[in-house]
Amino acid sequence: MKKILWIVMCALLVELAQAAEKTENNGKGNLLTFGFPKNLEVDFGKISYGAEPPQCAGDVTGMNFHITGIIPDDDGFVVYGRDLVYQKRRSLPKAQVWRARTKDGFVFENAKKLFEIPKYDPPVHWNGGDVAPLGKDQLILFICHLGKPPTKGHPYHAFAGGLDGEGWQRLNPQPVYRGQDSISVGWNRQLGKFVNYQISYQPFTKQFRDNIPKIRRVLHIRTSADGLNWTPGESFGANGPYLPNEQLIVPDEKDAPDTEFYHFSEIDLGEFWAGTMVKYVPLPTEITRNRSMIAHREPYTSYEWWISPDGLNWERPFRENSALDEMPGSFAFDLGPPIVIGDELRWAVEGNVYVLNRRRMFYTYCRSNAEITTKELVLSGQPISLEVGFATVKRHQKGLMRQGYLMAELLDEDGNVIPGFERHKCIFKPSEQTRLTLKWGNQSLPEGSIGRSVRLRLHFRGVRLYSASY
């Protein structure tokens, strides 16, 4: 009976997600980011992609758990998440689910512990884990405890209950599966399923040994309609069994040869998905000298933004320009859904609030001349505006050194320039403006533009192109 009720609840979640998706952009314009390669074609030039660094905007008060989900309501936001609490040094952690409320992402109130996993006999060491939504008032905690032996994988369990703290119970009599302890679980509205981004293992000859000397850490993605039955559903461990190579996302020829993927966190930003990957490279034993560092606690090389149209198929255009190297590791490790205030994304991470403008997160850029054409844009009737940044203005250069330009033209469904919307009629030179509204003479859009499909071709140099609103 418990499992039947759980399946019905998951079916209701799918309906709620579909309804939310239908109304998400109601009354709003559309947004296209230029930092996503799938959104454009490069007609000329050599462009690069980059990301703006998150800015620390202040301190968090009233909350100290890891936020994994946010529910907007009339009074602000309800946030929920998990915590692993060590009462004493070397004691076994207590796994807890928490809830709090905020209006601005800085000050949190009414923090409440919803659930704590009861003591097991014999005791177990809870580790990893994530909390995901189930409808408007239910949550699921998916978490593992350290396996015996750990090289065979850690057993995963599912607990579920209400946002009010009522009805929490374990859903699985036996472990759901065994695997690695680094996971990030969320609900994908497009799929109508939970998606689990989990680190896995692949046999690999390492230049330098660490605690798993013949295995490298890689990423795999599994999905589930109910949090209990996963695809793929096989268990895996450092000593095997191993998942098939076709199910793994691995470092490629552009990565350093000893790169490993250590932890991945994802966020759904509406028009696209973004994620942070923690990359890791073992150190030589002559450098580490002690077992604690050999056991992979220190040598993370970098944190990298990834981007995806659907949360499943990921691209890596920001390898060298992710702008996360100066961030504390906790930002990449604990990245969860942001609190959205207008265009500002706010993350509360380990006592600090980090902010980014959602229209100015990622960009494309070219130092020399370049031409790009966007994918088809279905016009809403509002003028097209661009978020930009001229590099020479940012560097306070003047005179002949203040170079750069931007020209725009509109193309019809056949790729032809629409008469009256040629590039020589829409020219911008370097300025301090960061939002440009496109006009061709005294026209902003062709007649009868609502619902019309067009493409935007941009000719530019020395300017960062972030996004287009249309």
- Could you read off the pLDDT of 123-180 as tens digits, one per residue? 999 998 999 988 778 999 999 999 988 888 999 999 999 999 999 999 999 999 999 9
CA distance 181 to 203: 18
Q: Does 127 reside within a domain?
A: yes
- Domain presence at residue 245: yes
Q: Which of 87, 88, 69, 89 is nearest to 79 (CA)?
A: 69
Given a cut of 90, whether residue 400 has pLDDT beyond it is no
Q: What is the predicted pLDDT for the residue at 122?
A: 87
Say yes or no: 319 and 411 in one domain. Answer: no
Percent of the chain residues topping a pLDDT of 90 = 77
Asked whether residue 266 carries a pLDDT value surpassing 70, the answer given is yes
Check residues 126 and 395 and name the one with the higher pLDDT. Answer: 126
Cis peptide bond upstream of 232, omega within 30 = yes
Give residue 388's pLDDT. 97
Cβ neighbours of residue 451 under 8 Å, at least 6 residues apart?
Answer: 378, 379
Final residue belonging to a domain, choices 322, 338, 359: 359
The whole-number average pLDDT for the span 352-370 is 96
What gap in Å lies between CA 373 and CA 409, rounded to an integer? 10
Q: What's the whole-number average pLDDT of the chain?
A: 89
pLDDT band at 3 (very low <50, low <70, confident <90, very high): low
- 37 domain residue, yes or no: no
pLDDT of residue 448: 87
Query: The domain containing residue 429 runs over which residues?
Result: 366-469
Shared-domain flag, residues 320 and 392: no
Same domain, 371 and 313: no
Mean pLDDT of 61-71: 94
With cut-offs at 50, 70 and 90, classify the pLDDT of residue 275: very high
How would residue 290 be classed by pLDDT, with cut points 50, 70 and 90? Answer: low
* pLDDT of 21: 42
- 318 and 355 in a single domain? The answer is yes
The pLDDT tens digits of the residues spanning 191-223 come to 999 999 999 999 999 998 888 899 999 999 999
Residue pLDDT, tens place only, 318-350: 998 999 988 888 888 888 999 999 999 999 998
Domain presence at residue 42? no
Q: 446 φ, ψ to 5°? A: -65, 160
Residues 342 and 381 in one domain: no
Whether 404 maps to a domain, the answer reads yes
Strand partners, 467: 33, 387
Which residues make Cβ contacts (< 8 Å) with residue 132, sequence separation at least 6? 68, 69, 139, 140, 142, 185, 186, 187, 194, 227
pLDDT at 174: 94
Domain count, the chain: 2
The angle at the Cα of 12, spanning 11 to 13, to the nearest 5 degrees, equals 90
pLDDT at 134: 80
Structure confidence at residue 401 as a pLDDT band (50, 70, 90):
low
Q: Please compute the mean of the pLDDT values over residues 47-65 and round it to a whole number.
A: 96
Model pLDDT, residue 399: 67
Which CATH number covers residue 85? Answer: 2.115.10
pTM of the model: 0.90
Cα 199 from Cα 211, distance rounded (Å): 16
Measured between alpha carbons, how far is 234 from 11 in angstroms, rounded to an integer? 24
Q: 450: domain CATH number?
A: 2.60.290
Rounded Cα distance between 403 and 391, Å, is: 8
Residue after which a domain boundary falls, among 359, 376, 405 = 359
Of 335, 359, 383, which residue constitutes the final position of a domain?
A: 359
Whether residue 22 has pLDDT greater than 60: no
Alpha-carbon distance of 196 to 185, in angstroms, equals 4
Residues 380 and 334 in one domain: no
Q: Is the pLDDT of residue 415 over 60?
A: yes
| Residue 250 burial (CB count, 10 A) | 17
Whether the predicted pLDDT of 262 surpasses 70: yes
Give me the mean pLDDT over the 280-302 stretch: 68
